Amino acid sequence: MMKMMKKKPEDRKEKARKSEAAGHNGLQEDIPKVERPAGEDLEMNLREKEKEAAENYERYLRAVADLENYKKYAAKDRADILKYANERIIKDLLPILDSLDRALSRSNEVKDVDSFIEGVRMIKEQLLTFLERHGVKRVESVGQTFDPEIHEAFMLTESDEHEEGTVVEELEAGYMLNDRLLRAAKVAVSKKKAAGEKGQDKN
């Protein structure tokens, strides 16, 4: 009589594993796959685009606000520059004003007129130095040939001592700011005497 062979525990476990796997495969095959409707994908895409548009609009508003703030600050800076542009010039001018104040305060005590005039002349030189430091120079006039670019003929003076068209007198000084004319000099310009007047002078 043949003895029945006992199955090893390992064989039983392997068989159970295979049976379980086969059962799972059968269940997976029986469960139908659910596909997402196309309309749902469109709705999700729409929501994402709306969110993106809202974020872009918010960034736009912040950029506009930043630009407006910059314009306000720039306008204020420009106004301050224009308002205080002459500050350095005025500071340099104050010592000259001080000199004039001192001269006027002592004018009643002045006994030497020549000394007082010399003091005023020194103040004038101080003022001219100040102007030159800031690019302002006087227009050369007397003895120069009349130049309509920088001279304004205020009167004509008959003269045999000067070439015709020569500036013989400066009635009001002219000034240049660097290469630009601030004010033309008002001058008297020589002209030749008439022939009859020359004959009278010889007699």
DSSP code string of 55-119: HHHHHHHHHHHHHHHHHHHHHHHHHHHHHTTTHHHHHHHHHHHHHHHHHHHTGGG---HHHHHHH
CA distance 130 to 135: 9
Digit-coded pLDDT (tens) for 9-54: 556 666 666 655 555 444 445 555 555 555 677 888 888 889 999 9
Cβ contact 119:103 at 8 Å: yes
The candidate with the shortest Cα–Cα distance to 141, out of 126, 151, 154, 133, is 151
The mean-pLDDT minimum among 4-18, 73-87, 103-117 falls in 4-18
- Which superfamily does 137-194 belong to? Head domain of nucleotide exchange factor GrpE (2.30.22.10)
Q: How confident is the model at residue 195 (pLDDT cuts 50, 70, 90)?
A: low
Name the residue with higher pLDDT: 86 or 63. 63
Average pLDDT of the segment spanning 192-203: 58
Q: Where are the domains of the chain?
A: 57-134, 137-194
From 3.90.20.20, 3.40.50.300, 1.10.1040.10, 3.30.420.40, which CATH number describes the 57-134 domain?
A: 3.90.20.20
